[in-house]
């Protein structure tokens, strides 16, 4: 077949006698099992949409003897992943991690297979290697499932917005930490308790580091920034702060000041110190106003705002993880790659022509909420305000606990600033911390989504 294919509809039987597109699956955990389920239960629909049947030719797993969902045909299981990728047209990788995933994908590409991966860590660490290999071989590299689960976000940013100029991407891209922060806010749990609950429910891994330290969100932020700004951003370029320092007290105070705490991934285009354009990418917990749409994103859901020059503000919302939602994203990519096998053509290649510099963390400008424990006596606010003014940080609001609520002569002072450079804020906080009347700087949190 050439690229000039007929309309897919009843008048022209869709699949004709075209040979099947051979699909190999690497990994058969929660996501892999659901990929098999969709390939099986939707087989007729998928064949009609592709224009040829999709044939699952093998499933590579570490342990072929392990118990599995009955939807997985045991005859397809193999421990020989290397051998499997050599006989597929489309290779789906849902193993995760850097190796052996990278080697297997490179081997698949070398053999001329299109690859579909959900592997955000690999893409954020070494995406260009994969892109270049796919490019050299002239095959597709798709990865919708690597960011925000079921939510179509990679394709819209990579293709729909490619005629526009994206300024900013901001959102909740890690469901585990979102669930944890949610439970802290609604149930008053502390971090350890909420993480334990998430682990018991299977929402968090036994080792929750990748989620709670923000590595997972940072990998997604790097991928989104690369696509949105046509540049290369890797995991190391992301200013990353997880939720491990968020206390039950922080969460309670957030509520008292009309906010909720969310772990946000933010990528923005802005001018660097030399005036030249660059990108700044960060992941950190932030206070979000209770009335902001992101504040209402609960549990394992993800939501991402994209701001572009002509399009204005867009929001994408849906399930950010889980077997079936992730499998939906994987299958969309499998159909695209398989269609190219049947009808010709190729998906978009890496686009990094802009080659923008990555700006340092202190290039960020945002609002802050600083919470202090201060001596309960007159004049303290004046001293603190003077330090802020000194450093050019403007105050938006101050909230001071009444003396009646002071314990042991200690009062709480919560200061919200207008937008200020991170560097100025850091200097201000250091100066405030040195004041006699200030017992401690309890927390410094960014405020986003005003």
Scanning residues 122 to 151, which ones bind a second copy (CB under 8 A)? 131-132, 135, 137-138, 144, 150-151
- CA 395 to CA 400: how far, in whole Å? 14
If binding is defined by CB under 8 A, does position 324 make contact with a second copy? Answer: yes
Give yes or no for a contact between 374 and 384, defined as CB atoms under 8 angstroms apart: yes
Closest separation in Å from C-beta 396 to a second copy: 24
Range in contact with a second copy (rule: CB under 8 A) among 1-9, 195-203, 366-374, 393-401:
1-9
Measured from the CB atom, is 148 or 218 closer to a second copy?
148
If binding is defined by CB under 8 A, does position 98 make contact with a second copy? Answer: no
Q: 1, 290, 354, 386: which one contacts a second copy (CB under 8 A)?
A: 354
If binding is defined by CB under 8 A, does position 332 make contact with a second copy? Answer: yes
Of 68, 220, 341, 412, which residue is the catalytic one? 220
Interhelix angle 323-343/43-50, nearest 10 degrees: 40
Active site residue 220: yes
- CA 302 to CA 310: how far, in whole Å? 24
Measured from the CB atom, is 349 or 389 closer to a second copy?
349
Binding residues for L-homoserine: 205
Q: 333, 387, 422, 448: which one contacts a second copy (CB under 8 A)?
A: 333
Q: 176, 280, 336, 417: which one contacts a second copy (CB under 8 A)?
A: 336
Measured from the CB atom, is 297 or 414 closer to a second copy?
297
Scanning residues 49 to 78, which ones bind a second copy (CB under 8 A)? 49
Q: Which residue has the tokens 């949610």?
A: 182
- CA 120 to CA 97: how far, in whole Å? 8
Interhelix angle 248-256/175-187, nearest 10 degrees: 70
313: helix, coil or strand? strand
If binding is defined by CB under 8 A, does position 349 make contact with a second copy? Answer: yes
Range in contact with a second copy (rule: CB under 8 A) among 185-193, 267-275, 334-342, 409-417:
334-342
Scanning residues 231 to 290, which ones bind a second copy (CB under 8 A)? 232
Token pair belonging to 251: 């969460």
Give the DSSP letter string of 437-450.
Answer: TEEEEEEEEEE---
Closest separation in Å from C-beta 442 to a second copy: 34
If binding is defined by CB under 8 A, does position 351 make contact with a second copy? Answer: yes
If binding is defined by CB under 8 A, does position 340 make contact with a second copy? Answer: yes
Q: Which residues pair with 262 in a beta bridge?
A: 286
Binding residues for NADPH: 120
Alpha-carbon distances, residue 196 vs 81, 180, 199, 246, 258 (angstroms): 34, 9, 5, 15, 27
Could you give the string, one character per residue 155-174, with x where binding to a second copy holds by CB under 8 A and - elsewhere? xx--xxxxxxx---------
| Total binding residues toward a second copy, as defined by CB under 8 A | 77
Measured from the CB atom, is 163 or 379 closer to a second copy?
163
- CA 409 to CA 196: how far, in whole Å? 36
Could you give the string, one character per residue 280-319, with x where binding to a second copy holds by CB under 8 A and - elsewhere? -------------x--x-----------xxxxxxxxxxxx
Give the DSSP letter string of 44-93.
Answer: HHHHHHHTS-EEEEEEE-S-TTS---TTS-GGGEES-HHHHHTT-SEEEE
- CA 388 to CA 408: how far, in whole Å? 26
Binding residues: 26-33, 120, 205
Scanning residues 210 to 229, which ones bind a second copy (CB under 8 A)? none
**Cβ atoms within 10 A of the Cβ of 115, count?**
29
The alpha carbon dihedral of 153, 158, 159, 163 has a sign of positive
Measured from the CB atom, is 132 or 401 closer to a second copy?
132
Closest separation in Å from C-beta 294 to a second copy: 12
Closest separation in Å from C-beta 162 to a second copy: 5
Could you give the string, one character per residue 16-55, with x where binding to a second copy holds by CB under 8 A and - elsewhere? ------------------x---x---x--xx-xx------
- CA 167 to CA 427: how far, in whole Å? 28
Q: Which of 51, 142, 107, 47 shows the shortest CA–CA distance to 347?
A: 142
Residue numbers annotated as active site: 220
């Amino acid at each position: 077949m050439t690229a000039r294919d007929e309309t897919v509809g009843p008048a022209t039987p869709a699949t004709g006698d075209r040979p099947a597109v051979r699909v190999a699956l690497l990994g058969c955990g929660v996501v892999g099992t659901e990929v098999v389920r969709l390939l099986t239960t939707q087989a007729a629909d998928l064949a009609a949409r592709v224009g040829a049947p999709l044939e699952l030719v093998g499933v590579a797993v570490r342990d072929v003897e392990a118990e599995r969902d009955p939807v997985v045909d045991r005859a397809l299981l193999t421990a020989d992943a290397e051998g499997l990728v050599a006989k597929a047209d489309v290779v789906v990788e849902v193993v995760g991690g850097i190796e052996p995933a990278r080697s297997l994908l490179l081997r698949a590409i070398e053999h001329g297979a299109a690859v579909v991966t959900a592997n955000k860590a690999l893409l954020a660490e070494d995406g260009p290697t994969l892109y270049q290999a796919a490019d050299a071989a002239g095959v597709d590299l798709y990865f919708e499932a690597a960011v925000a689960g079921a939510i179509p976000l990679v394709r819209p940013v990579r293709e729909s917005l490619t005629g526009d100029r994206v300024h900013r991407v901001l959102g909740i891209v890690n469901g585990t930490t979102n669930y944890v922060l949610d439970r802290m806010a609604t149930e008053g749990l502390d971090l350890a308790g909420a993480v334990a609950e998430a682990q018991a429910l299977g929402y968090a891994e036994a080792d929750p580091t990748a989620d709670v330290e923000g590595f997972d969100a940072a990998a997604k932020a790097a991928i989104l920034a690369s696509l949105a700004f046509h540049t290369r951003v890797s995991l190391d370029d992301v200013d990353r702060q997880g939720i491990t320092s968020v206390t039950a007290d922080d969460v309670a105070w957030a509520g008292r000041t009309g906010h909720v705490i969310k772990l946000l991934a933010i990528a923005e285009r802005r001018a660097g110190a030399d005036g030249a354009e660059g990108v700044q990418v960060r992941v950190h917990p932030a206070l979000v106003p209770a009335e902001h749409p992101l504040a209402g994103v609960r549990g394992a859901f993800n939501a991402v705002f994209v701001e572009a020059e002509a399009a204005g503000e867009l929001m994408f919302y849906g399930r950010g993880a889980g077997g079936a939602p992730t499998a939906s994203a994987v299958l969309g990519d499998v159909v695209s790659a398989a269609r190219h096998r049947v009808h010709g053509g190729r998906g978009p290649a890496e686009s990094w022509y802009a080659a923008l510099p990555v700006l340092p963390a202190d290039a960020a400008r945002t609002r802050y909420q600083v919470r202090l424990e201060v001596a309960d006596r007159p004049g303290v606010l004046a001293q603190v305000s003077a330090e802020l003014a000194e450093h050019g940080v403007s105050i938006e609001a101050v909230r001071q606990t009444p003396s009646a609520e002071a314990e042991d002569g200690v009062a709480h002072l919560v200061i919200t600033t207008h937008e200020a450079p991170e560097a100025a804020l850091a200097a201000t906080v250091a100066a405030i911390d040195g004041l006699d009347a200030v017992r401690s700087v309890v927390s410094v949190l960014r405020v986003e989504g005003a």
